[in-house]
């Protein structure tokens, strides 16, 4: 069972976890969001709900929820389960019109991973509807097998045109000569952390561009990092045989400023 702890919400009602039933596994049936909780605060929840609504639109489903009502549901779950730190998941079954909000197991990178970076691989494949956050178990299973086989942390997806798009469960940023790059929005999931990093880079004056970069041009890249709800900004030490600079000054400066953004958000919540 995916849901953990004592309580979950179903259509706004608090229920004991013993009553939880697993969601359907059919491809594209479940729309979902995962939100990180820090000190009892759902981090960047507004951005997550906005993307949740966007996924509804991309699957031709009417989004009938008020943002404040979903926030109320999230806060109630955090209070009921006494969550200080962890991940919560919002799911919507488009066949039964059922929304659930529940706590899930999480795995955050270690201090050593942030210091030394993580190993990644290229994977030639792409999600069928990259802009929508919907369950695709077949694709996820295939990628996960390759990640395990290569003892990697993440797989960086390469589309049929040979361009780097995103990670299997993250977004990917690249740095070349002090300039920050990431794939165009139409090719990737519009990650909440991705959006926050782009806004922050502009605010602090970093040179930034959304650009399609071929995986064959990886030799020109100085540094790369993963962005996502659980890892925030996580340096990549290598992709296949390409070694990357985890001490890159742009990367480390961005990590520092992003941590400050999180602290500010938590302080100002409510």
Model pLDDT for residues 243-264, shown as the tens digit of each residue: 999 999 999 999 999 999 999 9
Measured CA to CA in angstroms, residue 118 lies from 25, 148, 175, 191, 237 at distances of 30, 14, 16, 20, 5
166: left (phi over 0), alpha (psi -120 to 50) or beta: beta
Token duo for residue 133: 């956050």
pTM of this structure: 0.92
- Return the CATH number of the domain spanning residue range 3-104: 3.30.470.10
What DSSP character marks residue 139? H
Delimit the CATH 3.20.10.10 region(s) of the chain: 111-266
**Could you tell me if 198 and 141 are in contact, meaning their C-beta atoms sit under 8 angstroms apart?**
no
Delimit the CATH 3.30.470.10 region(s) of the chain: 3-104
> Which residues touch 123 (CB under 8 Å, ≥6 apart)?
143, 146, 155, 156, 157, 158, 168
Model pLDDT for residues 162-185, shown as the tens digit of each residue: 999 999 999 999 999 999 999 999
- Return the CATH number of the domain spanning residue range 111-266: 3.20.10.10
Model pLDDT for residues 117-152, shown as the tens digit of each residue: 999 999 998 877 666 666 677 888 899 999 999 999
């Amino acid at each position: 069972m995916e849901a953990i702890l004592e309580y979950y919400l179903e259509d706004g009602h608090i229920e004991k976890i013993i009553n939880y039933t697993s969601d359907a596994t059919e491809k594209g049936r479940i729309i979902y969001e995962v939100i990180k909780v820090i000190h009892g605060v759902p981090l960047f929840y507004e951005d997550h709900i906005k993307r949740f609504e966007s996924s509804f639109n991309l699957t031709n489903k009417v989004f009938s929820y008020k943002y404040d009502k979903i926030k109320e549901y999230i806060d109630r779950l955090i209070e009921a389960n006494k969550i200080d730190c962890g991940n919560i998941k919002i799911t919507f079954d488009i066949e039964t019109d059922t929304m659930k909000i529940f706590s899930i197991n999480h795995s955050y990178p270690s201090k050593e991973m942030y210091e030394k970076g993580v190993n990644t691989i290229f994977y030639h494949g792409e999600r069928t509807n990259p802009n929508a956050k919907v369950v695709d178990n077949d694709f996820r299973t295939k990628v996960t097998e390759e990640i395990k086989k290569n003892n990697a942390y993440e797989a960086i997806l390469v589309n049929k045109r040979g361009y780097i798009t995103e990670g299997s469960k993250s977004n990917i940023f690249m740095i070349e000569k002090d300039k920050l790059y990431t794939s165009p929005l139409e090719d990737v999931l519009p990650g909440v952390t991705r959006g926050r990093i782009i806004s922050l880079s502009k605010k602090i004056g970093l040179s930034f561009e959304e650009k399609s970069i071929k995986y064959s041009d990886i030799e020109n890249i100085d540094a790369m990092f993963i962005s996502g709800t659980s890892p925030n900004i996580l340096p990549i030490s290598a992709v296949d045989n390409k070694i990357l600079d985890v001490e890159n000054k742009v990367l480390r400066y961005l990590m520092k400023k992003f941590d400050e953004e999180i602290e500010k958000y938590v302080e100002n919540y409510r």
